[in-house]
Amino acid sequence: MPEDKSRFWYLILIVFLIFYNICGGLFPDPKIGISITIQNILAYGSGFLMASYFPYFFYRGFNLSKLRFHAFYGVPLFLLLPYIAFFIVFYAITRNLEKAIHYGMIIPFFYSIVIAWAMLNAIKARFKEQETDGHSVSKLEAMAVYCAVLPWVFMSVFAYYHVEQWIEVLCANIGFVLITGIFITRSIRRTKMRLAKFKAQPSSPSLEFFEQNLLAYNFTFREIEIIRLIRQGLSYQEIADKLFIAPTTVSRHIQNIHSKADVKSRLNLMRKLDTP
């Protein structure tokens, strides 16, 4: 389900955050059996990784379509490329971390301002869409998303001005706490909305037979999701978009579904599952 995908993006975020905190807490340390150069590359890399993931996380997790350019093109050009050029290549050759920071943070510094502005506009645009498409999202939540983004967005500013590391870590984890609160709130609200919608729907014999028949076959959880979407009349492409999977994956699941139900078409599948 889309909510499951949102959780998936969030779990990746947690992994990156753990990596960032480990690197920030351990590196650089001469006692560790890794060269200081590599330690610094990893430490700064963890920060760049976090900042690079956020546009994609909010683009996918919060459906902020206006962030697509930054998620797929802006981040590689203006964050990852400067990191590779200055914190891996230049720093590995010169061993001069100060110059790597000075030159390597110029583009990310200005890009952080651009992404902060783009993020605000994306949230405003999404909020306007939700006012007209019937989704229930409060303005407070939308702005909370923006506030949660800012600490990571301005990591390059902190690095450029040599802000102490504990301040960077504190800001990053404040943002993490905000994101966690938003994620939990959204999950609870969506669960309540689904429950209310389910209770409001009149039960029909056809739907009851359909749900009972789903259990009669050895369908996987993903196959059951796809069958329910087929019943709603969605095309392969629409199912793929809704579940964030490739159309070829949908086609493969449907082939398995037809095989298990011993049918050769979607129409026959629905007739079989709707029949008592």
CATH code at 221?
1.10.10.10
Read off the pTM: 0.61
- Give tens-digit pLDDT for 128-181: 655 444 444 455 666 676 777 677 666 777 776 767 666 766 776 777 777 777
Q: Angle at the Cα of 14 (from 151 to 82), degrees rounded to 5?
A: 55
pLDDT digits (tens, 9 = 90+) for 56-107: 887 887 778 889 999 999 999 999 999 999 999 999 999 999 999 989 989 9
Local confidence band at 200 (pLDDT 50, 70, 90 cut-offs): low
209: its two tokens: 């037979």
Residues 146 and 253 in one domain: no
Do 45 and 156 share a domain, yes or no?
A: yes
Residues 193-202: contacts with CB within 8 Å, 24+ apart?
193/136
Residue 225: which domain range?
A: 205-274
24 plus 109 within the same structural domain: yes
Tell me: do 123 and 249 sit in the same domain: no
Domain total in the chain: 2
Tens digit of each residue's pLDDT (9 = 90 or more) over 211-242: 877 888 888 889 989 998 988 888 888 898 88
Q: Reply yes or no on whether the pLDDT at 203 is more than 80.
A: no
Q: Count how many Cα atoms sit within 13 Å of the Cα of residue 57 in the half-sphere of its side chain.
A: 26
Q: Pick from 196, 226, 245: which residue ends a domain?
A: 196
Domain check: are 167 and 209 in the same one? no
User: Is 34 in the same domain as 89?
Assistant: yes
- Final residue of a structural domain among 161, 196, 231: 196
Average pLDDT of the segment spanning 33-49: 90
Residues 175 and 232 grouped into a single domain: no
